[in-house]
Amino acid sequence: METLLSPRALSPPLNSKPLSTHQTKPTSHSLSLSKSTTFSGPKHLSTRFTKPESRNWLTDAKQGLAALALSLTLSFSPVGTALASEFNILNDGPPKDTYVVDDAGVLSRVTKSDLKKLLSDLEYRKKLRLNFITVRKLTSKADAFEYADQVLEKWYPSIEEGNNKGIVVLITSQKEGAITGGPAFIEAVGENILDATVSENLPVLATDEKYNEAVYSSAKRLVAAIDGLPDPGGPTVKDSKRESNFKTKEETDEKRGQFSLVVGGLLVIAFVVPMAQYFAYVSRK
């Protein structure tokens, strides 16, 4: 956003004395990628007013309402929020006291605590660090894999820093995930487990909105592979096919035959029983 609107432009004052408006230049955020990419956007909107000697109260009210409307539009814009969320993760760097950046807000305290115990033990024993990131929606990248690579390169710019690091990204709105990491991390886990976790644990459980289970089961599967333990496997994919409510021809014919027998028996009883009662009554006379 290169042009900033000031309340002065929306409603000029009645007095001839000008207002001085200060505009802040956008700050450029440079992302460390294999291909150079630059995102430029304003960090904040800063407007300074010079108070004239006499002001009309109606003009002040119009300017105040215009500024408030502009501020609310920028604050509650969903695109702006998504962009800020994605780039805040990049700029804030890896978490220090935990192993989770739950930007989507879908993980419970229990899951975060269990992840911290599991992954801190892994880092202590194997010198491999694994971080989990949840994001509600991506708007700057095509898929989770591209964003995961971007986070890895931004957090750990050099090969030495990122060699033993791994990152798991879960996109809740797209129900998909991605795993990336340095050479030592990828070698320790293995391509087969990486592919299986991305194609089974993350999307299958995320589709059912079981985000806590998706994250923690992925962590346990990756740690088991690093420790050389048997693969615990992924979740069972449920068959989404529904049974047909329509009967086959054989089933229809069978039901029709049974129905005919029942109806025929009822008709016989309806005629025979009254006649038998009638003849019994007549014979007594």
Q: What pLDDT is recorded for position 18?
A: 43
Alpha-carbon distance 71 to 68, whole Å? 5
User: What is the sign of the dihedral through the CA atoms of 52, 56, 57 and 59?
Assistant: negative
pLDDT tens, position by position, 72-124: 544 444 444 444 578 899 999 999 889 999 999 999 999 999 999 999 999 99
Q: Give the model's confidence band at 269: pLDDT under 50 very low, under 70 low, under 90 confident, else very high.
A: confident
pLDDT tens, position by position, 166-216: 999 999 999 999 999 999 999 999 999 999 999 999 999 999 999 999 999
Q: Give the model's confidence band at 277: pLDDT under 50 very low, under 70 low, under 90 confident, else very high.
A: confident
pLDDT at residue 10 tops 70: no
What dihedral do alpha carbons 189, 195, 198, 203 form, nearest 10°? Answer: -150
Q: What pLDDT is recorded for position 33?
A: 31
Instruction: Count the Cβ atoms, other than its own, within 10 Å of residue 141.
Output: 18
Q: Please give the radius of gyration of the chain, using alpha carbons only, rounded to the nearest integer.
A: 35
pLDDT at residue 53 tops 50: no
* Helical segments of the chain, H only: 7-10, 57-75, 78-92, 109-126, 144-155, 159-162, 183-189, 191-196, 202-207, 211-226, 249-284
Alpha-carbon distance 168 to 149, whole Å? 10
